[in-house]
Structure 1
Amino acid sequence: MVSLLNLCTTCCAFLFLASTVGSDRVFTEEELAEYDGSDPSKPIYLSIKGAVYDVTKGKDFYGKDAAYNALVGRDSTVSIARMSLEPADLALKHDISVLSSSELEALESVITSTYVPKYPVVGRLDVAAAESADSRRTDL
């Protein structure tokens, strides 16, 4: 079992990685949405825990009409942690506070076993701006 301290250390390491590896580009949610696989001339990106990954080489999985296309062009942290394509999970985006300890462990496992070794980090998502926009939407 992963201790909370180890999990927090791993989370911090990935946030650091997201801010230092790859491009220094910072994406807004609107900018990230442009890389959803619908335009074959653009790369395909998705965000997990603030890191934006170029998953273009996995276009058979993430491209237009592919099985996991719902995950791209957005932050898919919660969906990936829960292995879910349900609209409710997709809407939760980067809100890891809703995840159980086993879901957090699953998230870290899939990041380290799938995304880090296969897909380059091309930037980071401006999570603070996304959270601010989300709170404005719920205040309406």
Structure 2
Amino acid sequence: MLQPLVLGAACAAAALLLSCGLAGWRGPEAAPPTPRVFSKAELSRYTGGAGSPGLYLAVLGQVFDVGRGRKHYGPGGSYHFFTGRDASRAFVSGDFTEPGLVDDVSGLSPIEMLSLHEWLTFYKREYIFRGKLAGTYYDANGEPTQALIDAELVTEQGRKLKTESELENKVFPPCNSEWTSGRGGRVWCSTHSGGIERNWVGVPRKLYKAGSKNYRCVCVRTDGPASNQPESAHNRGDLDNPALREYPGCQSLSDSCVVVDE
């Protein structure tokens, strides 16, 4: 008597699957292909043309399938020159000639390397990772080379510089600026100059880097303690910072200055 009951239960389960639209369920989807190690010759075939096995590019030795962006990366597309190769340097140099479409990033600044890493993050997010490219950044077994380690160290320097710059911008936000042929140049401060929102306006000053003749226009607080001495009874804000210079001909506490030739 147990067998019919079991069979009936099985039929009931099947009917439930059908009623729920699950009869066509086939289990978990197949796992994506295992990432592989490409040679430069192999990758050069992945340019999306006739007979090409796909549409791939590499950034810092990581290979991505950009087929979903064919209108941009396919033959005739505005970024087609990136495909079938690792042209890491061109992502930040803007040199899209053959000599510039290379993977050599030696000599790029930390900030440029950080920008390149942001491109790498973009491809990881938007496209399919297919493997690694043997050569500059990975060996034939897909293991990192010293060149990749060096590139990552420079990128980390870029992160630190960016953090320092963001902190400096909070203390010394960039000025607003304009130039017209009739009136010349002008810089001024507001509660949102330089895209930095705050509850004070400040006055324009030239901020110099140590040992450099170059400067940038910043807005400086004029009251309260100095930023590097928050417990001080000082009440001139950051006006006494030794890296600051006033604009010639501008009133010391004016929030707007005409830029004159020096």
- Compute the TM-score of the two structures, normalised by the length of structure 2: 0.38
Following superposition, the deviation at residue 127 of structure 1 comes to 1.4
State which of 120, 134, 144 in structure 2 corresponds to 1:111: 120
State which of 26, 29, 39 in structure 1 corresponds to 2:50: 39
Deviations 1:62-108 (A, max 9, x none): 00011010000001111113244232211xx2212132222101101
CA distance in 2, matches of 1:34, 1:54: 13
% identity of equivalent residues = 31
User: Which runs of 5 or more residues in structure 1 are unaligned?
Assistant: 1-20, 132-140
Q: 1:40 to 1:60 in 2, by over 3 A?
A: farther
Letter in 2 for 1:125: L
CA distance in 2, matches of 1:86, 1:62: 16
Select the structure that is richer in strand.
Answer: 2
Report SS of the residue matched to 2:132. Answer: strand
| 2:60 and 2:137 in contact (8 A); partners too | no
CA distance in 2, matches of 1:51, 1:23: 14
Following superposition, the deviation at residue 130 of structure 1 comes to 9.4
Letter in 2 for 1:33: S
Report SS of the residue matched to 1:111. Answer: helix
Question: Runs of 4+ in structure 1 displaced over 2 angstroms?
Answer: 21-24, 39-42, 81-84, 128-131
Q: Spell out the pairing of 1:65-104 with structure 2 (5 A cutoff).
A: 65-90=76-101, 93-104=102-113
Select the structure that is richer in helix.
Answer: 1
CA distance in 2, matches of 1:128, 1:55: 21
Q: Which residue does the alignment assign to 1:58?
A: 69
CA distance in 2, matches of 1:130, 1:115: 18
Question: In the alignment, is residue 30 of structure 1 matched against residue 41 of structure 2?
Answer: yes
| 2:45 and 2:52 in contact (8 A); partners too | no
Report SS of the residue matched to 1:97. Answer: coil
Higher Cα radius of gyration:
2
Number of aligned residues: 108
CA distance in 1, matches of 2:67, 2:34: 16
Q: 1:96 to 1:23 in 2, by over 3 A?
A: farther
Which shows bigger deviation, 118-127 or 31-40?
31-40
Point out which structure has higher relative CO (alpha carbons under 8 A, 6+ apart): 1
CA distance in 1, matches of 2:108, 2:129: 24
Q: Spell out the pairing of 1:3-14 with structure 2 (5 A cutoff).
A: none
Q: Which residue does the alignment assign to 1:49?
A: 60
CA distance in 2, matches of 1:89, 1:116: 23
